[in-house]
Every structure is written in C-alpha cells, then in structure tokens.
Chains A and B, each alone.
Chain A
Amino acid sequence: MFEARLSSTLTLKKIVDALRDILNQSTLDCSDTGIQLQAMDNSHVSLVCLCLRSDYFEKYKCSRNVSLGLDLKSLTKVLKCANGDDAVTIKAADKADKIELSFESAGKERTADYELRLLNLDQEHLAIPETEYSCVIHMPASEFARICRDLAVFSESVVIACSKNCIKFSANGEMGSANIKLSQTSKAEVTLQVDEPVTLSFAGRYLNTFTRATPLSEKVKIGMAADVPLLVEYPIEDYGYIRYYLAPKVDD
C-alpha cells in the first residue's frame, strides 16, 4: 500500500510541469525512503531524475516498493482539476492498475477524488557514475532560464565556457551572435568553483526544456567536466531534487 499526502497541489503541478516536456510517460518508483523517477527523453540525449524524500510529504506510507507507470499528459489533466492550495493525497494498492488522487480544499469543505489508470511501462534504468565536476556553478534559476531563452534566438547550439573568473554562454548563428558572461557576485548569487576550465557545446532546446523546473527552486546548480554530460540540478527545498543530464555536442 502506498499513500502520500502533500499540503499543496501546486508543488506537484510544478514537478509534473518540470517533467512533461521531456517525458510522455514514466515510472515513479516508491519505497519507504521516498519516491524516485529516472527516464531519458525519446532521443536518448537527455535524462531527468526526480528524487523526493519521504519527509517531504505531510504523510507518507509505503509498506512495500511499488512502481507506478504514469502518463504525464493524463496526470496533468487531473491536476488541472485541483486548486493549487488544495491538499493532495496519492494512493495506490499493491499491484494496483490505477492510482487514486484525492484533493481537499484548504477549508476542507470540498473533496474530489480521481482515479488514473496506470501503465505497464518497460523502463530501463541507467547507472549514473559519480562524477567529479571540474566546474560547479550556482546561480539564480531565473537567470539561467533567461539566458537559455535569450540564446535560443540565435542558434540551436549553446557553448558554455567556464573559467576561474566567469561563466560565458554563447550562441552563434546566421542572424548574429550572443555572448553572456556572469562573474561571481559579492552577494553570492552566482558562485563558481573551478578546478579546470571547461568549454562544452549543447543543444539549446534541451536546456530550455530543463528550465521548466524554474518555479521549483530559487537556485540552480550546473556541473561541467570535459567529455561528460552536463548536470543541471534544481533542489526541491531540502528534501530532494530534479536533476537533468544532457549529452554534449562534439566536433566532427
């Protein structure tokens, strides 16, 4: 039996919004420690990992591990039926073929129950190696979103070059070029930890997709190292994270 309650449906909406541009369907793995999701996009260029510890939830019970195959479009439709400030309880029986979502209004005067059919998804899990990133950048999530959006106008590819003093985002296309540099700020809004300078090229449309997670977090962490996928991590308070990985583009 699995049961998890969040005091605000808005959080769940934000989480699903951060996933649904990359994934159509995915399996939520629930255990007594919390919930996890790991899936690649259809083209196997990016991967998203969601991790939420059980203490993130107002109530959490998972007597045995369950995997819930979800259609994210359908889940989004159900979440649209709820107000952001409704509390939400998700329930699934062992070996269930559906989940139940119950929404309770803030004043408890209205409850609404929905059942959502589960999917039997054949999903492979990947081993993500522990990586020592030679550049680790923290910056406001809204700033990262703005940069990704602004550069997409110029080119499909975005070059990220990180050195001791600054991180530079560049795009170069037929229309012209764009270069945005950020230096470490005294207020620590932007921090750079650089062991080795790294320059890598990435598809801008994936970066833009990752920024769907911006409403979840004030800050974003970016990890870069030569010849490994980019890490873009949005913490979810102190209880978990959404991590995106993106394979680089390489010169022919």
Chain B
Amino acid sequence: SQTQVRLDSFFKAL
C-alpha cells in the first residue's frame, strides 16, 4: 500500500 506524503516535507515555510 501507499502513503500520501504532505508537501510540507518538500517546501519549507518562509
């Protein structure tokens, strides 16, 4: 099965 990754782990908050 697969897990949906969140974008926060790729793009950092400014």
Contacts and interface: CB of A to CB of B under 8 A. Distances in A.
A230 B5 CA distance: 12
Interface in B1-14: 1-14
A54 B2 CA distance: 43
A126 B14 contact: yes
A129 B1 CA distance: 29
A241 to B, nearest CB: 17
B13 A125 contact: yes
A129 B11 contact: yes
B4 to A, nearest CB: 5
Given A125-B14, A127-B14, A40 B3 contact: no
A47 B11 contact: yes
B10 A45 contact: no
Interface residues of A, number: 24
B7 A45 contact: yes
Contacts of A129: 10-11
Nearest to A124: B13
Given A201-B2, A250-B2, A44 B13 contact: no
A128 B11 contact: yes
Contacts of A125: 13-14
B7 A247 contact: yes
B14 A249 contact: no
A69 to B, nearest CB: 18
> 3 nearest interchain CB pairs?
A126-B11, A249-B2, A247-B5
Interface of A: 40, 43-47, 124-129, 157, 201, 203, 228-229, 245, 247-252
Interface of B: 1-14
